[in-house]
Chains A and B, each alone.
Chain A
Amino acid sequence: MFEFGIVFSAILNGLTQGAVYALIALGLTLIYGVLHIINFAHGAALMMALYGVYFLQRSFGLDPYVSLVVMVPLMFAAGYAAYRWVIGRASHGKDENILLVTLGLAIVLENLALFLWKSDTRTIETGWTYKMVPIGPALLPLPKVLAFAGALAVAAVLLFFIKKSDLGRAIRACAKERQGARLVGIDVEHVFAMSFGIGLACLGAAACFLLPAYYVNPTVGNGFVLVAFTIVVLGGMGSFAGALAGGLLIGVVESLGGLWFGESLGQMGIFLIFIAVLLFRPQGLFKA
């Protein structure tokens, strides 16, 4: 149907987009795996992080990649505080409550952004925004290549951290058996808040990689939320490797779907995959 070159560059484009999706989904799957809750405020938090990167560049001239050192700790702190003071308190031991509270937070953040910054779509420009990198027969924009590399690097760091560090072990312990974790002296509430913080810190990183090739407006998060949910479900809720693979897969599916069926119907393909996986394989594609 299409020449090899076009399909090849669509696949590469999908992979770079998918890596950023994966990074967003990693945060979501970490929060789900540990807290067993779905963070509906994930998209709104990403939107806030994108505004953060935008204003750091506009007001202080910070390069989006330098902003990493500001945004990652900032988002971590915001996530920790949000869990400690709002989400954790509201749960009353019921999962539906957390679902609704994160939805409430999303409504507040989204409309706060609308109130403060209006609905304008904003972009940033740096010296290298339009640089292209040749890969085989395809030409890719430099920001996308960097986003791909950066997202994979962050994912590797996160996986290593969860596997090897003490906090990582505590997080895995709480994910498996929170009662047992409490009994061996783990401060479960602290670990929950840390996990939420790390989940949002992933968004801080994702925002820095995303903005140079993307845009920001108050509803930009919505587009990512369902995609991230899809990836998390595809990969098996709570699985990091699954989120990574699912992210890349969805990126490619979206890119090829857009090539063959047009942009918006390509999007629908993602939702249909999502529904089908939820119905027929809620444990995820990769689990036996």
Chain B
Amino acid sequence: MKKIFIFTGLVALMPVFVTSGSVLNLVVMILYATLLGQAWNILAGFGGQFSFGHAVFFGTGAYASAVLQAKFGWNAWAALPAAIALGAAAGAFIGALSFRYGLRGSYFALVTLAFAEVFRVLANNVPFTGMGVGLMLKLEPGARNFQLERAGFLYVILAFVVIALLISHWLKHSRYGAWLQAVRDNEAAASALGVNVFRVKLGAIMLSAALMAAGGVFYVQYFQYIDPSIAYGPAVSIEALLGPIVGGLGSVWGPVLGALVLNLLGETTRGLVENAPGVNLIVYGVVLVAMISFLPRGLAGTLRGLKR
């Protein structure tokens, strides 16, 4: 808890001392990756359910916000809770189906991936999402329209990240969190002890989906554009799982650490090899394979091991 306060204070002071736009942009991107990572971590790290299609929640949040604004004339701030609720609803729907029928492990990963693809094809084909062309938000700068300066965006994404960290902290120390981790470690045993496995997993996927949807809303406001392959393509799903695995699954600070290290690595390689699309992703893939091979507990877990 204390650590979360210190972290918040340090990041919140950054715009006061740092004026460079590109540095602030990097901080925003790291926080954004942290949010996606923490969302994935709640379901996979604490709940043991590995989703390979988390983009489905991200995209639902992003599209909900963009469509409500562009087609129904909603204010962006009003669209935010609606989008988060819709994301959580998508989580409830997919979770209820998969967990009711007992999908686990690889099967769950596959079904989430398939849902993301279905949503991508749908977004490509139904008129109110703008189809393949995507949706662009009208440019109306101002805090009232959730179109902020860079520092403003930094505070918004920081707030999301802090909420995610608090949820993660709560999972570490609450009864519900203990249930969730019991389900992860041994579903049959947890069930025998009276844990309602289905409801516990459903809660986790809804929390995770809501945070993912918040990430989608943030993306739309920050870049003011969304299209089906950004929203529901595999890139977001992969971004969400890379951070926690590199940083450490099932920990509060793992996704933060993972997002920080990966983004710095990505920036460095992009600086070293210019004009090379995909080169940072090659590095990410290699890091992912290397981490699982040599440090399966992630950076956070390994550091904790060293301290002892």
B110 and A278 contact, CB distance less than 8 A: yes
Given contacts A107-B281, A226-B117, A268-B118, contact A100 B288 (CB under 8 A): yes
Which of A86, A226, A274 is the one whose CB lies under 8 Å from B293? A86
A100 and B292 contact, CB distance less than 8 A: yes
Q: Which B residues lie within 8 Å of A108 (CB)?
A: 282, 285-286, 289
A101 and B121 contact, CB distance less than 8 A: no
B118 and A271 contact, CB distance less than 8 A: yes
| Cβ of A220 under 8 Å from chain B | no
In this complex, what residue of B is CB-closest to A274?
Answer: B114
A279 and B110 contact, CB distance less than 8 A: no
A115 and B289 contact, CB distance less than 8 A: no
Q: Which A residues lie within 8 Å of B245 (CB)?
A: 100
Which of A86, A229, A271, A278 is the one whose CB lies under 8 Å from B103? A278
Q: Which B residues lie within 8 Å of A112 (CB)?
A: 278, 282
A-B contact count (CB 8 A): 118
In this complex, what residue of B is CB-closest to A280?
Answer: B101
B277 and A101 contact, CB distance less than 8 A: no
Looking at the assembled complex, report how far the CB atom of A42 sits from the nearest CB atom of chain B, in whole angstroms.
Answer: 12
Interface residues of A, dominant DSSP? helix
Looking at the assembled complex, report how far the CB atom of A117 sits from the nearest CB atom of chain B, in whole angstroms.
Answer: 11
| Cβ of A38 under 8 Å from chain B | yes
Q: Which B residues lie within 8 Å of A6 (CB)?
A: none
Count of residues in B whose CB is under 8 Å from the partner chain: 39
| Cβ of B296 under 8 Å from chain A | yes
A101 and B110 contact, CB distance less than 8 A: no
Q: Which A residues lie within 8 Å of B285 (CB)?
A: 104-108, 111
| Cβ of B98 under 8 Å from chain A | yes
| Cβ of B107 under 8 Å from chain A | yes
Q: Which A residues lie within 8 Å of B253 (CB)?
A: none
In this complex, what residue of A is CB-closest to B234?
Answer: A222
Q: Which B residues lie within 8 Å of A9 (CB)?
A: none
Looking at the assembled complex, report how far the CB atom of B276 sits from the nearest CB atom of chain A, in whole angstroms.
Answer: 6
Looking at the assembled complex, report how far the CB atom of A217 sits from the nearest CB atom of chain B, in whole angstroms.
Answer: 13
Looking at the assembled complex, report how far the CB atom of B99 sits from the nearest CB atom of chain A, in whole angstroms.
Answer: 11
Taking CB atoms and an 8 Å cut-off, the chain B residues in 156-190 that contact chain A are none
Which of B103, B113, B125, B296 is the one whose CB lies under 8 Å from A264? B125
A-binding residues in B (CB < 8 A)? 50, 52, 97-98, 101, 103, 105-107, 109-111, 113-115, 117-118, 121-122, 124-125, 234, 238, 241, 245, 276-279, 281-282, 284-286, 288-289, 292-293, 296
The 21 sampled A-B contact pairs (Cβ below 8 Å) are: A86-B289, A90-B289, A92-B292, A95-B105, A97-B296, A100-B50, A104-B286, A104-B288, A104-B292, A105-B285, A107-B238, A108-B285, A114-B277, A115-B279, A272-B118, A275-B111, A275-B115, A278-B101, A279-B98, A280-B101, A282-B103
Q: Given A104-B292, A267-B121, A278-B111, output 12 extra A-B contacts at Cβ < 8 Å.
A: A40-B52, A96-B105, A99-B50, A99-B105, A104-B285, A107-B284, A107-B288, A111-B282, A111-B285, A114-B278, A268-B117, A282-B107
